[in-house]
Amino acid sequence: MMTIMEVSTLTTIAFWAASAMTLGFAAIVVTQRDVFRAAIALAGSFLGVGILYFILSAEFVGVVQILVYVGAISVLMAFAVMFIQDIASGSRPAQGRLVGAVVAVLIFAALAFTAYNTEWSSMDDITDPVAIAALTEGFVEVGTGDEITILTDVSQGGNDLAIENDGVFVDSTGAIGVMLVRKYMLAFELIGLLLVAALIGGLLLMRDPKSTEEPGPVNGDASV
Amino acid sequence: MTIENVLLVSGALFAIGAYGAVSRRSLITVIMSLELMFNGVVIAAVGFSRFTPAAELLSGDPLTAEAIRSALTGHVFAIFVTAVAAGEAALAFALVFAMYRATESVEITDASEMKN
């Protein structure tokens, strides 16, 4: 039986390759003077992060990352660069570059120190046999209600799938959907409200100020 | 690949973004750096979801579907952060355009006053 924490060598190599891609493109983003090239490098960095999500067994988050970041935000960045004319002068570094570098190194040192000096609880701490079965060998089907089905019968194709997906859900997308509309219902609704507010705010800010003067009363007693 | 490695990559991405946010003068590059920082945070959330157990699975109570599902809390967190970041990016660019229209510049040193 594979333990939950076990990770194959190939996965580890893929992890470091995707990390190198992400961090390399990110370094280009913050050092490149040409803003358009920085936008392209940003798309590459987002793609690397998306690959990292797939390696971390978060398929749904990976797909969302590629749709939202690589697909939408990168295009938004490219449009912004093309709209603004004087971008040709490039993104000059500000005066506080040295201070920024020192602060960034300190932030990284603090985070790395914390990561390596904390006793993180491990998946191996789980003692409940049903939970272990659910997370390792079982082809877990968590229904919409409280029913749990653990299929360990190889003839049903459960075991092969489970070993490939050890430590994670086979059907993570469905479980995320159920969580969104149950446990996190309020946050889900608030996110919708936030996106509508952002949409209206963006439209309002982008409106041409000249066209906002609507034909008001002729005597002009009500104008702002 | 352990949780420490994932947190290392996450911290490195966050630090690179932080450096870009303070060291660049163009507002567009600053926003790009902010997006990099968002991504660093989300990598940490997904990494925790992959490598550390949910509290409900350690408690020893009879297992429910709810408890098993809570192993995916980090993924839900990631989706919420992504949604907020997308809204933030759209609004930030609208502000940059408004500033460009008012001052013909997108340099952060020219953004010292809000009135136009």
Give the predicted TM-score (pTM) of the model: 0.83
Q: List residues bridging with A149 in a β-sheet.
A: A141
CA A95/CA B79 separation, integer angstroms: 36
Cα(A47)–Cα(A44) distance, integer angstroms? 5
Let me know: does A120 contact B35? Beta carbons within 8 Å.
no
Q: What's the helix, strand, coil split of chain A in %, to 5?
A: 65, 5, 30
How many other β-carbons are positioned within 10 Å of the β-carbon of residue A156?
Answer: 10
B contacts of A68 (beta carbons < 8 Å): 82, 86
Across the interface, do B46 and A53 touch by the CB < 8 Å criterion?
yes
Kindly give the confidence (pLDDT) of every residue in chain B, 116 residues in length, as a single tens digit, with 9 standing for 90 and above.
Answer: 788 999 999 999 999 999 999 888 888 889 999 999 999 999 999 999 888 887 777 777 777 777 777 888 899 999 999 999 999 998 998 888 888 888 777 777 777 776 55
What are the residue ranges spanned by the domains of chain A?
8-88
Please, are residues B80 and B113 in contact by the beta-carbon 8 Å criterion?
A: no
Chain B, nearest residue to A189 by Cα: B80
Q: Residue B85's closest CA among A46, A99, A129, A33?
A: A46
Complex ipTM? 0.91
Neighbours of B62 (CB within 10 A): 8
**In chain B, what are the domains?**
3-110 (1.10.287.3510)
CATH number at A8-88: 1.20.120.1200
Cβ distance of B15 and A105 shorter than 8 Å: yes
Q: Which residues, including other chains, have CB under 8 Å from residue A214's CB and lie 6 or more apart?
A: none
